[in-house]
């Protein structure tokens, strides 16, 4: 056994932080679609606007419910009054779109000029009569998906504490009522009994609606009831969160939200691996069940069945290696799943590693490596892309998961790449979506298998300098 | 503060990066927060670039905010100098560094002491200039830097080349069809017997910049990029320049005549009139197209043109002067250079619009209801919404505007490309219009999996009329769905009732 030479615990390293990722303001692109009655106002410069319009491609043309409050020289030098300017724009938004909430996204510029968004918001909120949520999703502090984390942490403060009046409750449960198709209360309460008796559970993390439904049903099968979801489809339907509620995250980049829910809303966090891949989904459900003292039913078979159905894809990657350059914080969960699929992984780059929030996932990664008999990966926080590329040249991994800035140049040098951002936008959670992850991960291998005979692998003239 | 959904020209640093990454072996280091290196994605995706984009960021984070960049920028410059050995490193300020007001030029001086290559600070203020202005300034700055350096060292070559020669100034990364235009311009120069001395900035080496002075004249094909450099070269070295964009038959001829005048005044004896005639009448198809029946049908059709100065002005002139199309509105988003635009196009259009507010342009298009639009990707989407065809003639652009095939806009081949673009836009519009009137193509719809178009189903008269009211682009699908529905339920005749039932069944 080589086990003795291999490190027995995960190694953590931290590099220079010179890496490519998306600016965290990109979270408006998926959050405005998720929260249907919201409007996102990004208070920043042309640079922010240019990024959004180019990164979001065609979405910009679908009359998005987001806009830039573009700062001009007068704003920077405080010749213009921030409050008056924001009021003017927010009134315009109210008039044109009438949203239920306006989310202000603070950027690098508002940080540097110290624009007091958190202070201005409550005042303006009461003046114009629309709730304003302030999130500082800037590139000074955060990377890519962490933008969602800042927004959800800010929203956690806005969740109601209790269901106050009957009327409100009725409205809050409108969807539920619709689902019950107007059945009488007795029938509904009978349905309620399908659930085990456990304290309320609220899940956090923005997922596409089909995935929400899917995970909800998955837990329902175990008798676990989800009382709410942060965020919900509409701002007006934010879940009730009271002291003592249980919460669990569905994505690895939500550490601030988790902290806020624990410290400010006095919730109990269920720390579990994330429901990415059939192994992750099963571990996630099992952990939730164990907290509630429920004996999970049929999970092992369910997982085995999913693995069976993935075999055609797994065949393609078994024994191959994958290198994560790191840009969206999904890396640990994806690596753990791909290692379970039979891949090896020398390096997991990641923008930021919260070892407490991700503890269960990290333990699970370690366990998976041991069970699969592959060396433990090196986890590189704040990676340095230049150094990583040198390591890629040395290691020659079969697959590099990376941002678009490096994908084409690496492909031209004969290295298979998968664009990492696709994992953020694809549906990857739960048992059913495991196939989608593999569909993405195997695509470069399948494509290059098709082209193998042509001998066109290296398409740059000079060998890259090492 | 300004409420904005869309912008035509990018921020200043994009212009600087476009220039830096166009040169060979020049590296740009942005003083910017995490995520601002989006330029690399654009270059890698849009241009399908095989090489790593020579742009890195010296990250501005919380620590930098608290203590200043201190050694960080200097270290990053020196490190990059060692790793890639670039000839020049351009330190690029962003909106963030503009307000931090760190002494970047001091960092440059310090880094220069340890770096083997040259180090320079791009002199662009984010809040004063946009992408295009910044690109123009940066190119000027780099050229000036290297000419002065050569002058100091006494390495500036003296005299002109033996034969008439030209510098082509302004071809750059992420420029609209720049690569193809460059090839076409080189061909044109070869046809005219003019040597191409240097092309900048695309693929140029900074070491060759000192040779710029050897050219007989400079050609600046685009209004937005290169004029500052050409003016500098004229002032300092007396090199005349031609700034007529050779786009369209008439303008190309005008450009060539200007070149003729300039080189003849320096002792060449050339007469390009024969060449212009030959090309115009027989090589370019555009002049013949203007005479043809096809183009006759376009007479008096209404068009709206919007884009950058170069392309919108050239397009307006082509449409009005060469094809007899009525340009009801010509506009540009180059507000800083609006006077030039107005002067160029006012005799060729009804109305001039100088604005970078997309809503204003969209509203103008809706009000004027042209038969075709020639604009940017944004106008294309306005066109989609209003059902008006659009040819894309200027940035901002998407990946489909970086074609692999040869598609110049300049020179004689450019005139052919533009003719196709214009004609295809209008024909589509006409065809669509005719379809509306006559209720669609009179073709057999494919309704079964096989190739035979025989249908065993009868459409009664009302149902048939109703079907014809369905917009052409979905009619086939509606027909197929209805027949599938009828077949499944064993109806032999399709009536209005069956149609609606089918519609409800598929929930469309």
Complex ipTM: 0.88
Residues of B in contact with A84 (CB under 8 A): none
Task: Convert the pLDDT of each residue in B53-72 to its tens digit.
Answer: 999 999 999 888 888 887 89
Cβ of B99 under 8 Å from any chain A Cβ? yes
Give yes or no for a contact between B242 and B258, defined as CB atoms under 8 angstroms apart: yes
pLDDT band at B201 (very low <50, low <70, confident <90, very high): very high
**Nearest CA distance, B326 vs chain A (angstrom):** 28
**Nearest CA distance, A229 vs chain B (angstrom):** 29
**Nearest CA distance, B236 vs chain A (angstrom):** 34
Contact between chains at B1 and A113 (C-beta distance less than 8 A): no
Q: Computed over its alpha carbons, how large is the radius of gyration of chain A? A: 23
pLDDT score, position B191: 96
Among A226-230, B220-224, B272-276, B481-485, which is the least confidently predicted range? B481-485
Residues of B in contact with A93 (CB under 8 A): 3
Cβ of B362 under 8 Å from any chain A Cβ? no
| Cα→Cα distances A314→A122, A318, A441, A445, B233, Å | 53, 6, 10, 11, 63
Cβ of B354 under 8 Å from any chain A Cβ? no
**Nearest by CB to B95, which of A46, A55, A80?**
A46
pLDDT score, position A150: 97
Average of per-residue pLDDT values in chain B: 90
Cβ of A124 under 8 Å from any chain B Cβ? no
Kindly give the interhelix angle for A434-451 and A331-340, rounded to the nearest 10 degrees: 70
Give yes or no for a contact between B324 and B300, defined as CB atoms under 8 angstroms apart: yes
Cβ of A91 under 8 Å from any chain B Cβ? no
pLDDT band at B496 (very low <50, low <70, confident <90, very high): confident
**Which of A67-77 are b and which e, b meaning 16 or more Cβ less than 10 Å from the residue's Cβ?**
bbbbbeeebbe
Cβ of B24 under 8 Å from any chain A Cβ? no
Residue B157 neighbours by CB distance under 10 Å: 12
**Nearest by CB to B35, which of A22, A49, A53?**
A22
pLDDT score, position A61: 63
Give yes or no for a contact between B130 and B12, defined as CB atoms under 8 angstroms apart: yes
Residue A171 neighbours by CB distance under 10 Å: 13
**H or E stretch at A429:** none
Residue B303's φ and ψ, nearest 5 degrees, are: -135, 150
Tell me the average pLDDT across B319-345.
96
Angle at A50 between CA A130 and CA A135, to 5 degrees: 35
**Nearest by CB to A140, which of B38, B65, B378?**
B65
Cβ of A115 under 8 Å from any chain B Cβ? no
Cβ of B395 under 8 Å from any chain A Cβ? no
Q: Minimal CA–CA distance to B414: which of B174, B170, B182?
A: B182
Among A48-62, A111-125, A227-241, B243-257, which is the least confidently predicted range? A48-62
Contact between chains at A22 and B38 (C-beta distance less than 8 A): yes
Tell me the average pLDDT across B275-292.
90
**Nearest by CB to B33, which of A88, A108, A406?**
A108
Residue B467's φ and ψ, nearest 5 degrees, are: -60, -40
* Pairwise pLDDT comparison (A7 vs A380), residue with the higher score: A380
Contact between chains at A73 and B52 (C-beta distance less than 8 A): no
Contact between chains at A88 and B14 (C-beta distance less than 8 A): no
* Pairwise pLDDT comparison (B46 vs B231), residue with the higher score: B231
Cβ of B46 under 8 Å from any chain A Cβ? no
Q: What part of B 444-503 touches A (C-beta under 8 Å)? A: none
**Nearest CA distance, A151 vs chain B (angstrom):** 18
Cβ of A465 under 8 Å from any chain B Cβ? yes
| Cα→Cα distances A256→A262, A267, B84, Å | 10, 13, 39
Cα nearest neighbour of B56 on chain A: A18
pLDDT score, position A176: 53
Cβ of A136 under 8 Å from any chain B Cβ? no
Residue A321's φ and ψ, nearest 5 degrees, are: -115, 150
Decide if pLDDT at B450 tops 50.
no
Scanning the structure block, which residue is given the tokens 């989608």?
Answer: A436
B350: annotated active-site residue: no
**Nearest CA distance, A110 vs chain B (angstrom):** 10
**Nearest by CB to B36, which of A47, A49, A389?**
A47
Contact between chains at A460 and B51 (C-beta distance less than 8 A): yes
Residues of B in contact with A404 (CB under 8 A): 41, 44-45
- Cα separation, B381 vs B354, whole angstroms: 20
Q: B242: exposed, middle or buried (C-beta count within 10 Å: 0-12, 13-18, 19+)? A: buried
Cβ of A451 under 8 Å from any chain B Cβ? no
Return contacts of B324-327, CB within 8 angstroms, 24+ apart: B324/B290, B324/B295, B324/B298, B324/B299, B324/B300, B325/B298, B325/B299, B325/B300, B325/B301, B325/B422, B326/B300, B326/B301, B326/B302, B326/B350, B327/B303
**Nearest by CB to A406, which of B1, B52, B130?**
B52
pLDDT score, position A4: 46
Tell me the average pLDDT across A378-382.
96
Decide if pLDDT at B401 tops 60.
yes
**Nearest by CB to A47, which of B11, B57, B83?**
B11
Q: Which of B61, B103, B109, B294 is catalytic?
A: B294
Q: Are β-strands A66-70 and B2-4 bridged in parallel, bridged antiparallel, or unpaired?
A: antiparallel
Three-state DSSP class for residue A203: strand
Decide if pLDDT at A74 tops 80.
yes
Residues in a beta bridge with B493? B458
Mutate to test the interface with B, among A51, A349, A407 (most CBs of B within 10 A): A51
Residues of B in contact with A69 (CB under 8 A): 1-3
Scanning the structure block, which residue is given the tokens 């005042």?
Answer: A123
Give yes or no for a contact between B249 and B422, defined as CB atoms under 8 angstroms apart: no
Contact between chains at A47 and B398 (C-beta distance less than 8 A): no
Q: Minimal CA–CA distance to B360: which of B379, B374, B343?
A: B379
pLDDT score, position B451: 43
| Cα→Cα distances A416→A324, A397, A425, A438, A449, Å | 12, 8, 21, 15, 11
Contact between chains at B7 and A46 (C-beta distance less than 8 A): yes
Residue A28 DSSP symbol: H
Q: Minimal CA–CA distance to B350: which of B300, B287, B422?
A: B300
Q: Computed over its alpha carbons, how large is the radius of gyration of chain B? A: 28
pLDDT band at B397 (very low <50, low <70, confident <90, very high): confident
pLDDT score, position A183: 52
**Nearest by CB to B37, which of A138, A405, A465?**
A405
pLDDT band at B508 (very low <50, low <70, confident <90, very high): very low
Average of per-residue pLDDT values in chain A: 89
Q: What part of A 352-371 touches B (C-beta under 8 Å)? A: none
Task: Convert the pLDDT of each residue in A280-289 to its tens digit.
Answer: 999 999 999 9
Contact between chains at A68 and B50 (C-beta distance less than 8 A): no
Decide if pLDDT at A192 tops 70.
no
Decide if pLDDT at A185 tops 70.
no
Question: How long a stretch of residues is chain B?
Answer: 508
Cβ of A458 under 8 Å from any chain B Cβ? no
**Nearest CA distance, A258 vs chain B (angstrom):** 22
Residues of B in contact with A465 (CB under 8 A): 84
**Nearest CA distance, B272 vs chain A (angstrom):** 40
Q: Token digits for A368?
A: 């998976």
Tell me the average pLDDT across B257-275.
96
Contact between chains at A45 and B126 (C-beta distance less than 8 A): yes
Contact between chains at B57 and A111 (C-beta distance less than 8 A): no
pLDDT score, position B446: 46
Contact between chains at A23 and B38 (C-beta distance less than 8 A): yes
Tell me the average pLDDT across A419-432.
92
Cα nearest neighbour of B44 on chain A: A405
Tell me the average pLDDT across B90-97.
93
**Nearest CA distance, B55 vs chain A (angstrom):** 10
**Nearest by CB to B44, which of A88, A89, A407?**
A407
**H or E stretch at B460:** none
Contact between chains at B4 and A49 (C-beta distance less than 8 A): yes
| Cα→Cα distances A336→A218, A236, A250, Å | 21, 37, 15
pLDDT band at A454 (very low <50, low <70, confident <90, very high): confident
What are the strands of the beta sheet with A132-136, ordered from one edge? A132-136, A101-106, A38-44, A66-70, B2-4
**Nearest CA distance, A59 vs chain B (angstrom):** 11
Residues of A in contact with B57 (CB under 8 A): 18
pLDDT score, position A2: 44
What are the strands of the beta sheet with B352-354, ordered from one edge? B352-354, B326-332, B302-307, B372-375, B390-392
For B507, residues 6+ apart whose C-beta sits below 8 A from its C-beta are none
pLDDT band at A166 (very low <50, low <70, confident <90, very high): very low
With a pLDDT cut of 90, the percent of chain B lying above it is 68
């Amino acid at each position: 056994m080589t086990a003795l030479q291999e490190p027995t615990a995960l190694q953590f390293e931290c590099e220079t932080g010179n890496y490519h990722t998306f600016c965290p303001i990109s979270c408006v692109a998926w959050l405005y679609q998720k929260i249907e009655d919201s409007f996102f106002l990004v208070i920043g410069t042309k640079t922010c606007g240019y990024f959004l319009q180019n990164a979001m491609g065609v979405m910009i043309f679908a009359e998005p419910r987001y806009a830039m409050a573009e700062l001009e020289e007068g704003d920077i030098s405080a010749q213009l009054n921030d409050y008056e300017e924001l009021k003017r724009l927010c009134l315009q938004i109210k008039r044109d779109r009438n949203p239920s909430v306006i989310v202000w996204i603070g950027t690098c510029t508002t940080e540097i000029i110290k624009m007091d968004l958190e202070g201005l918001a409550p005042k303006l909120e009461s003046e114009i009569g629309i709730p304003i949520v302030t999130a500082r999703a800037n590139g000074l502090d955060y990377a890519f998906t962490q933008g969602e984390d800042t927004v959800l942490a800010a929203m956690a403060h806005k969740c109601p504490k209790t269901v106050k009046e009957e009327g409100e409750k009725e409205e809050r449960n409108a969807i539920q009522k619709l689902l019950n198709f107007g059945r009488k209360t007795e029938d509904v309460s009978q349905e309620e009994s399908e659930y085990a008796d456990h304290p309320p559970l609220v899940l956090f993390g923005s997922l596409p609606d089909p995935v929400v439904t899917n995970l909800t049903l998955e837990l329902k099968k175990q008798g676990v009831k989800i009382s709410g979801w942060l965020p919900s489809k509409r701002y007006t339907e934010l879940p009730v969160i009271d002291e003592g509620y249980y919460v669990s995250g569905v994505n690895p980049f939500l550490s601030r939200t988790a902290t806020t829910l624990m410290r400010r809303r006095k919730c109990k966090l269920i720390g579990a691996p994330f429901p990415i891949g059939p192994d992750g989904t099963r571990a996630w459900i099992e952990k939730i069940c164990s907290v509630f003292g429920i004996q999970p039913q049929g999970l092992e078979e369910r997982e085995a069945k999913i693995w069976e159905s993935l075999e055609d894809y797994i065949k393609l990657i078994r024994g191959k290696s994958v290198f994560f350059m790191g840009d969206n914080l999904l890396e640990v969960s994806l690596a753990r799943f791909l290692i379970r699929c039979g891949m090896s992984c020398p390096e997991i780059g990641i923008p930021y590693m919260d070892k407490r929030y991700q503890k269960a996932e990290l333990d699970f990664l370690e366990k998976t490596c041991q069970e699969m008999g592959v060396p433990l990966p090196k986890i590189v926080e704040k990676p340095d892309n230049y150094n990583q590329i040198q390591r890629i040249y040395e290691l020659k991994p079969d697959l590099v998961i990376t941002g678009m800035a490096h994908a084409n140049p690496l492909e031209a040098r004969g290295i298979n790449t998968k664009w990492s951002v696709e994992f953020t936008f694809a549906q990857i959670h739960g048992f059913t979506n495991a196939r989608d992850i593999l569909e993405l991960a195997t695509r470069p291998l399948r494509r290059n298998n098709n082209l193998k005979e042509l001998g066109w692998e290296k398409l740059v003239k000079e060998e890259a300098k090492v | 503060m300004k409420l904005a959904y869309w912008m035509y020209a990018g921020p200043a640093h994009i212009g600087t990066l476009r220039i830096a990454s166009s040169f060979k072996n020049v590296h740009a280091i942005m003083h910017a927060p995490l995520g601002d290196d989006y330029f690399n994605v654009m270059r890698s995706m849009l241009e399908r670039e095989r090489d790593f984009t020579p742009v890195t960021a010296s990250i501005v984070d919380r620590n930098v905010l608290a203590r200043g960049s201190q050694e960080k920028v200097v270290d990053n410059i020196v490190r990059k100098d060692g790793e890639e050995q670039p000839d020049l490193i351009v330190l690029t300020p962003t909106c963030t560094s503009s307000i931090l007001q760190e002494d970047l030029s001091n960092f440059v001086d310090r880094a220069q002491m340890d770096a083997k290559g040259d180090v320079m600070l791009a002199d662009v203020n984010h809040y004063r200039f946009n992408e295009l202005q910044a690109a123009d300034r940066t190119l000027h700055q780099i050229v000036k830097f290297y000419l002065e350096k050569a002058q100091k060292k006494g390495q500036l070559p003296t005299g002109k080349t033996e034969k008439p020669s030209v510098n082509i100034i302004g071809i750059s990364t992420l420029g609209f069809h720049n690569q193809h235009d460059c090839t076409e311009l080189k061909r044109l120069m070869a046809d005219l017997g003019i040597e191409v001395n240097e092309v900048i900035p695309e693929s140029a080496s900074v070491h060759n910049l000192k040779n710029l002075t050897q050219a007989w004249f400079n050609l600046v094909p685009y209004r937005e990029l290169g004029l500052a450099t050409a003016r500098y070269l004229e002032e300092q070295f007396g090199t005349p320049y031609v700034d007529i964009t050779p786009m369209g038959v008439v303008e190309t001829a005008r450009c060539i005549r200007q070149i003729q005048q300039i080189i003849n005044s320096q002792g060449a004896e050339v007469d390009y009139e024969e060449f212009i005639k030959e090309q115009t009448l027989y090589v370019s198809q555009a002049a013949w197209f203007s005479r043809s029946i096809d183009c006759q049908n376009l007479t008096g059709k209404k068009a709206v043109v919007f884009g950058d100065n170069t392309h919108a002005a050239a397009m307006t002139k082509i449409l009005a002067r060469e094809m007899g199309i009525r340009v009801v509105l010509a506009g540009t988003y180059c507000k800083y250079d609006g006077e030039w635009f107005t002067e160029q196009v006012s005799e060729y259009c009804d109305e001039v619009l100088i604005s970078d507010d997309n809503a204003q342009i969209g509203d103008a298009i809706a009000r004027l209801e042209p038969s075709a639009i020639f604009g940017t990707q944004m106008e294309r989407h306005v066109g989609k919404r209003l059902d008006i065809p659009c040819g894309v003639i200027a940035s901002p652009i998407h990946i489909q505007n970086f074609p692999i095939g040869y598609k110049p806009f300049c020179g004689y081949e450019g005139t052919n490309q533009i003719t196709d673009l214009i004609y295809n836009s209008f024909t589509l519009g006409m065809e669509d219009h005719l379809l509306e009137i006559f209720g669609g193509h009179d073709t057999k719809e494919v309704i079964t999996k096989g190739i035979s178009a025989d249908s065993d189903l009868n459409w009664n008269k009302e149902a048939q009329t109703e079907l014809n009211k369905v917009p052409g682009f979905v009619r086939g699908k509606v027909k197929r769905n209805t027949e599938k529905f009828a077949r499944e339920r064993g109806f032999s005749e399709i009536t209005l009732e069956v149609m609606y039932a089918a519609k409800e069944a598929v929930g469309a």
